[in-house]
Amino acid sequence: MPFTFRLTPLFIALCAMISHHSHAEEHVAGFVEGSSLNLHFRNAYYHRNQLDRGVRDNREWAQGAIARFESGYTPGLIGVGVDAYGMLGVKLDGGGGHAGTDLLPTRQKNEDALGAAPAHFSSAGAAVKLTGFDTELKAGDLFISNPVIAGGESYLLAQTFRGVTLRNTSLDGLLLEGGRVSFTKPYNQSGHRRIDTNYSQRADDQHSQYLSWAGAAWSDSPHLTANLYAAELKDIWHQYYADLDYTYVVNDSLSLNPGVHLYRTQDTGQAKLGKINNTTYSLHFTVASGYHSVTTAYQQVNGNTPFDYINQGDSIFLDNSRMYSDFNGPGERSWKLQYDYDFAGLGLPGLSASLSYSRGKLDLTRANPESVGYGQWYNAEGKDARHWERDLDVKYVFQEGQFKDLSLLLRYASHRGSRGYSAVDNDNDEIRLIVDYPLAVF
C-alpha cells in the first residue's frame, strides 16, 4: 500500500482526536472583519560572473510585486473563507547576452546560449479554506513552508504550490500538519508544472505526480523547538526529517545555541531518479554575546548521491546551505564559521551584517555515472574534490517614518572549486542588491 494512503488517514484521525479533547473556545474573526490585504514590493539586481565557464557578465534587474488577500471566516461550526494572490514581475534590464541569473524567466536561444527574458511575467491564484475544531483545511494555490516542502522566496517573486493542506493547533505549542500537492508555480515563471526536484530537471524532466507529507512542529518555550516530518515524492523518494534547537540563556548578555538537522532519503516506486540511500545531517553551535554572535557548523552527506530537495524550493533546512552552494554533494563533509553583528550596539538600530566562510570536501568517484538523476556528479578526477564559499550580507531596515519596514540588502558570494569539483559547479562571484517594501493595506 502506498506510503501516502497509510499516512493521511492516520494524520486526520490524530487531528480529530486532539480536537475532540480540546476544551478551548474558538474565536474566529468574521469573513470581512478578519480579512487582510498585504502588498510586497521587491526590486532586485543580480550580477553573476561564472569565471570558469567564460560567462563573465550575467546580470538582470527587475521589479516585483505580490498582493495577498486573506479573508476571515464565516460564522458557524465550520467557517469558510478564501485566500487569493496576484504576482507581477517586470524586467528592467537583462538582454540575451546577460541572461541566466534565474531572477527572470529563461528562454533557450540555442544549444549554447540563453535568449533575453520576456518584458514581464505574472501569475494569480486562490484557495478555499475551512476551519473548525482548531483545524484548518486549504485547497487551491498555496504558500507552504516546512522542512520537506518550502516555496522559494529568495528571488523576485514567490514559489507557490497547487494542492491541499491540513493544519491542527489544538495543543498549545504543537502544530500538526499534512497535505498533498501536484503542481508548482516556480518563482521565475508564469505557469504551473508538475512538481520535481533540484536535480530531476536535469534528468529528462523526471517529474512526479505529487508530493504528500505529514509532520509536527513543537515549541515548549521560546528557547526549545523540535520538528518531525515525513514525505513521499511519488516514484522518486521517501524523505524523513527531524531537528532540535535549544537556546540556553546564561545571562542578559550571553546565550548558547546548539542545534541539529537530519534528513533521511530513500528511493521509492519507479525510482525515476535511480537508487537513493542518503542520510544528511548538520550540527551548529552559536555563542551570542551582546550584539555579537559566532556560529560554527559541521555538515555531512552519507550516500553516493547528493542531498536533493524540491526544485527552486527552500526545503533544505541545513546549516551549510549558502547563497551559492549547498555543500550537499555525495559523501560531502563541510564546515562553516560565521560572524554576525547588530549595529544597534553602535547606535545604528536596523543595520546588521553577517560574514561567513564555508569549506567542503568530497569524493566524486563514489557517485554512480549511470544514475538517472545524479550521474553528472561523477568525475574520475574528483577523488579529493574541494570547494569553498565566502558570503557577506549587509542589511538595513528602516525603523520608523514613512519608509518604516523598508529594507535594503546587499549580498555577496564568492565560490571556488578545485581538484575536480569544478566539473559539477562553477567558480563564481555574485552580487545581489535587494530592496523590499512590505505594505499592509488593511
pLDDT in tens, 177-191: 999 999 999 999 998
Q: How far apart are CA 115 and CA 133, in angstroms?
A: 52
Q: How far apart are CA 267 and CA 288, in angstroms?
A: 40
Predicted confidence (pLDDT) at residue 222 exceeds the cutoff of 90: no
Which residues, listed in sequence order, are joined to residue 166 by a DSSP beta bridge? Answer: 137, 178
Mean pLDDT of 52-68: 84
Predicted confidence (pLDDT) at residue 51 exceeds the cutoff of 50: yes
Predicted confidence (pLDDT) at residue 54 exceeds the cutoff of 90: no
Q: Is residue 13 assigned to a domain?
A: yes
Q: How far apart are CA 337 and CA 332, in angstroms?
A: 17
- DSSP code for 343: G
| Closest listed residue to residue 386, CA positions, set 325, 311, 440 | 325
Higher pLDDT, residue 7 or 32: 32
- 99 pLDDT band, cuts 50/70/90, is confident
- 408 pLDDT band, cuts 50/70/90, is very high
Domain count for the chain: 1
- DSSP code for 24: P
Q: Is residue 44 assigned to a domain?
A: no
- 5 pLDDT band, cuts 50/70/90, is very low
Cβ contact 423:48 at 8 Å: no
pLDDT score, position 424: 74
CATH number at residue 364: 2.40.160.10
DSSP 131-150: EETTEEEEEEEE--EETTEE
Place of cell 564559521: 337
SS3 202: helix
Q: Which of 73-87, 88-102, 365-379, 423-437 has the lowest mean pLDDT?
A: 88-102
Mean pLDDT of 377-388: 92
Q: How far apart are CA 406 and CA 408, in angstroms?
A: 7
Q: Is residue 370 assigned to a domain?
A: yes
- 56 pLDDT band, cuts 50/70/90, is low
Q: Is residue 319 assigned to a domain?
A: yes
pLDDT score, position 25: 45
Q: Is residue 441 assigned to a domain?
A: no
pLDDT in tens, 163-217: 999 999 999 999 999 999 999 999 999 989 999 998 875 555 578 999 999 999 9
- 115 pLDDT band, cuts 50/70/90, is confident
pLDDT in tens, 413-436: 999 998 888 767 778 899 999 999
pLDDT score, position 13: 53
- For the chain, give the mean pLDDT: 90
Query: Which structural domain, as residue segments, surrounds residue 178?
Result: 3-21+158-435
Give how far Cα 18 sits from Cα of 69, 73, 133, 134, 137, Å. Answer: 30, 22, 9, 9, 16
Q: What percent of the chain has pLDDT over 70?
A: 90
- 4 pLDDT band, cuts 50/70/90, is very low
∠ CA 373-377-378 to the nearest 5 degrees? 110
Q: What percent of the chain has pLDDT over 90?
A: 74
Cβ contact 141:125 at 8 Å: yes
Q: Is residue 30 assigned to a domain?
A: no
Q: Is residue 66 assigned to a domain?
A: no
Which residues, listed in sequence order, are joined to residue 174 by a DSSP beta bridge? Answer: 218
Report for 27-36, 81-90, 151-160: range of highest mean pLDDT: 81-90
**To which H or E segment does residue 114 belong?**
strand 113-115
